[in-house]
């Protein structure tokens, strides 16, 4: 699982959109700025994971402050009996005073100083959006939700393509939406004996991560190794219960009083990867299988989009063998 293991030093590009935060009365270095002369400030996020040591927060916060950055939020997690340190900081800064390339170098220097296992910085208004491909089978409610959240800007990603082992008529809502937005749809028919993973790998080679939005084919270890980046799945059940197919029916047959959905990283073992997000809803004797399925589908749509948003905002970090820290 390659979650966020990249030490990213993206190339600076011009500020791609007017995503500017004017500091009306913000202060840094003690100067008080009024809106007539204040520089344009833009948001940045930095996540850090290293062996615990004294002075990490001081070094990281000084790195930001020394370049005139102003920290707006700072989360730290140091687990008990485990000598590791996690942090996520949100800050605003003047890209003229702190050029993007220099920012990567400055955080990289601290990462080297502490032998960090993870140090990722992102400036949403400068850095390229994450490129993702969406894989699905027959049901498309998760895909539709993802497309609508992407359309209303809540999912800051570039969808490079949609891949499915089911064909869809061109006059369907999904296909018309994809055509309108220039998102290619690839029908890759799979069989038990031929999962056509090499073709899928070729289609997704330029993405930053993959999203399985009800893709009902088990990906091989060879595929996951070959892809080498994160794959995020939505399971319409409350893992680790009810792994595998038809979890809503498994839950119904088990007489549960809570149903749920789980978004997790995909590993070779089915439905066993580190959990990113879970959502639950009560059910009762008054529910039937149809309402179990309907409630599960409503939960999984929300759970998946929240997990993808958290991932894009650098809130998700690997923790131990099979857990996550989600700031
Ligand atoms: N390596 C992994 N691949 C996939 C995972 C995973 O965790 N690791 N998650 C699944 C999604 N999934 C549940 O969320 C799931 C998908 C498929 C099956 C299953 O039994 N598939 C059958 C074929 C079913 C069909 O063709 O309709 C099979 O592959 O034999 C169970 C659970 C996505 N991939």
* Domain range annotation of the chain: 42-122, 130-326
Please give the distance, rounded to the nearest whole angstrom, from the Cα atom of residue 216 to the centre of ligand 1.
4
Which residues have any ligand 1 atom within 6 Å of their CB? Answer: 212, 215-219, 233, 235, 244-245, 266-268, 270-271, 273
Exactly one of 140, 230, 271, 287 is catalytic; name it: 271
The enclosing H or E element of 51 equals strand 40-51
pTM: 0.89
CB 82 within 8 A of CB 49: no
pLDDT given at position 275: 98
130-326: CATH, from 3.30.2290.10, 3.40.50.170, 3.30.43.10, 1.10.3720.10: 3.40.50.170
User: How, if at all, do strands 209-212 and 130-136 pair?
Assistant: parallel
Per the structure block, which two tokens stand in for 19? Answer: 């995503």
Beta-carbon contacts of residue 292 (< 8 Å; ≥ 6 apart): 248, 249, 251, 252, 259, 283
Q: Can 271 be counted among the known catalytic residues?
A: yes
Neighbour-count burial of 32, counting CB atoms closer than 10 A to its CB (0-12 exposed, 13-18 middle, 19+ buried): exposed
Q: Does domain 42-122 have CATH number 3.30.1490.20?
A: no
pLDDT given at position 19: 40
CB 210 within 8 A of CB 232: yes
Neighbour-count burial of 200, counting CB atoms closer than 10 A to its CB (0-12 exposed, 13-18 middle, 19+ buried): buried
Pocket test for ligand 1, best of 142, 195, 216, 236 (most atoms within 8 A of CB): 216
Per the structure block, which two tokens stand in for 76? Answer: 């730290």
**In 233-244, which positions are buried (b, 16+ CB within 10 angstroms) versus exposed (e)?**
bbbbbbbebbee
Pocket test for ligand 1, best of 271, 277, 307 (most atoms within 8 A of CB): 271
3-state secondary structure of 205: coil
For residue 121, give the nearest of 60, 56, 55, 70 by alpha carbon: 60
Long-range contacts at 154-157 (CB < 8 A, ≥ 24 apart): 154/305, 154/309, 155/305, 155/308, 155/309, 155/312, 156/124, 156/129, 156/130, 156/312, 157/129, 157/130, 157/131, 157/132, 157/308, 157/312
For residue 19, give the nearest of 124, 150, 131 by alpha carbon: 124
Taking CA atoms only, the protein residue closest to ligand 1 atom 11 is 216
Residue tagged 């990283």 (tokens): 265
CB atoms within 10 A of CB 44: 26
Dist. CA 80–CA 34, nearest whole Å: 45
Beta-carbon contacts of residue 179 (< 8 Å; ≥ 6 apart): 170
Per the structure block, which two tokens stand in for 183? Answer: 């998102």
- Listed as ranges, residues in the chain with pLDDT below 70 are 1-37
């Amino acid at each position: 699982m390659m979650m966020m293991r990249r030490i990213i030093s993206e190339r600076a590009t011009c500020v791609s959109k007017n995503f500017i935060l004017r500091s009306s009365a913000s202060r840094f270095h003690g100067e008080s700025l009024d809106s007539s002369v204040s520089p344009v400030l833009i948001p940045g996020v930095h996540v850090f994971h290293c062996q615990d040591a004294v002075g990490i927060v001081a070094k990281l916060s000084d790195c930001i402050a020394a370049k005139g950055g102003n920290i707006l939020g700072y989360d730290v997690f140091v687990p008990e009996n485990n000598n590791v340190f996690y942090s996520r900081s949100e800050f605003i800064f003047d890209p003229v005073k702190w050029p993007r390339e220099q920012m990567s170098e400055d955080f990289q220097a601290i990462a080297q100083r502490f032998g960090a296992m993870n140090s990722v910085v992102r400036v949403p208004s400068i850095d390229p959006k994450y490129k993702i491909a969406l894989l699905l089978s027959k049901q498309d409610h998760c895909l539709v939700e993802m497309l609508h959240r992407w359309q209303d800007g809540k999912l800051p990603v570039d969808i490079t393509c949609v891949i499915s082992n089911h064909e869809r008529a061109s006059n369907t809502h999904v296909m018309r939406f994809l055509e309108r937005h220039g998102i290619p749809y690839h029908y890759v028919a799979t069989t038990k004996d031929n999962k056509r993973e090499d073709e899928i790998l070729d289609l997704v080679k330029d993405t930053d991560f993959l999203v399985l939005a009800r893709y009902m084919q088990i990906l091989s270890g060879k595929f996951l190794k070959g892809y080498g980046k994160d794959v995020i799945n939505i399971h319409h059940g409350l893992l680790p219960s009810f792994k595998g197919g038809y979890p809503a029916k498994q839950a119904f047959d088990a007489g549960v009083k809570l149903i749920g959905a789980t978004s997790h990283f995909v590993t070779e073992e089915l439905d066993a990867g580190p959990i990113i997000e879970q959502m639950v809803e009560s059910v009762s004797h008054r529910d039937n299988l149809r309402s179990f399925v309907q409630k599960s589908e409503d939960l999984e749509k929300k759970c998946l989009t929240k997990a993808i948003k958290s991932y894009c905002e650098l809130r998700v970090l690997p923790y131990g063998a099979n857990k996550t820290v989600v700031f």
